[in-house]
Amino acid sequence: MRPLDHRRRSRLFGYNWPIFCILAIGSLMMLFPFVWMILSAFKTRADVYAYPPRWLPSEWSWDNFRQVFEMIPFLRYYANSIITSVAQTALQIVLSVTAAYAVTKLHFPGRKLFVTFMQSSMFVPSVVTMVPLYLVVASMRMIDTYAGIILPQIATAFTTMLLMSFIASIPQDLIDSARLDGCGHLRVMTKVVIPNIKGAISTATLFAFLGNWKSYTWPLIVTNRTEMRTLPIGLKYLVQESSSEYQVMMAASLMAILPVLIVFIFCEKQLVRSITLTGMKS
């Protein structure tokens, strides 16, 4: 037997097949609703309510997408979600990188207390802070504005804690050398810290964008006008408008997740690599 064939056989029989089968079945179960949504978006109403259920559409119809735009101002909701999600994500990353650098590499009184407070804030349910936040936003007359949606959600402990673990791994000697060369803290962050944690920043950006894109409760609270609503709220209105038109709901849902799919497809390798590194550092 050739060495190459021997290695292939060793890999084949070295697999833990029971675990592999369980994971494969679990993956198919999680993938099934997504595939069913895509197929249902192109079905007719008769196909959706057919019994026994039909896996493939009898005819591929684009009419469901047209009905979405007729029932709700879908493009307006889409634009609002893009504006708020991109702005929130950008501000979150800037604040988190700055805070993580300050807490990790600078020494100031009360630093440990600040870290403890930040960690503790992760265990506080968001609904507890919504009423005080709403009162502050209302007093500043930011109801029905992009600022009212964006600003209260730009400070997140999770993103800061994630970046802290990576910044802590940067050698202090490297920071000190940059300081001796005349670099201020801002230049140290832009020239030394950020280039060394690009993977972590990519991961934090993805998590932040996904969280902001699906945000529902806070935009619902601080918006009254239809033209300021975001996409998750618009989908809720669509469900009320087309309570029995499941094919229309699936078409709207498919369009709603397109940005998330695009981001994930282009950043999958970086995301997996960063998550792996995060686990190793932890």
List C-alpha distances in Å: 144 to 76, 218, 222, 226.
14, 12, 6, 9
**Domain ranges for the chain:** 3-65, 68-281
Q: CA–CA separation, 130 vs 124, rounded Å?
A: 11
Q: What pLDDT tens digit does each residue of the chain (282 aa) get?
A: 455 454 555 455 556 778 888 888 998 898 888 888 888 889 888 888 888 888 888 888 888 899 999 888 999 999 999 999 999 999 999 999 999 998 988 888 888 888 888 888 888 888 888 899 999 999 999 999 999 999 998 988 888 988 988 888 888 888 888 888 888 888 888 888 888 888 888 888 888 998 999 999 999 999 999 899 999 999 998 888 777 788 889 999 999 998 888 877 776 776 666 666 655 554
Q: CA–CA separation, 18 vs 178, rounded Å?
A: 53
Strand, coil or helix: 225: coil
How many CB atoms lie under 10 A from the CB of residue 254? 19
Q: What is the reported pLDDT for 1? A: 47
Question: Is there a contact between 62 and 42 (Cβ–Cβ < 8 Å)?
Answer: yes
CATH superfamily, domain 68-281, is: MetI-like (1.10.3720.10)
What values do phi and psi take at 43, rounded to 5?
Answer: -90, 160
Q: CA–CA separation, 193 vs 167, rounded Å?
A: 7
Question: Is there a contact between 130 and 217 (Cβ–Cβ < 8 Å)?
Answer: yes
Question: Is there a contact between 24 and 31 (Cβ–Cβ < 8 Å)?
Answer: no
Tell me how many degrees the CA angle 165-170-176 measures, rounded to the nearest 5. 135
Sequence-ordered list of residues with C-beta below 8 angstroms from that of 59, at least 6 positions apart, any chain: 44
Tell me how many degrees the CA angle 89-93-97 measures, rounded to the nearest 5. 175
Q: What is the reported pLDDT for 10? A: 47
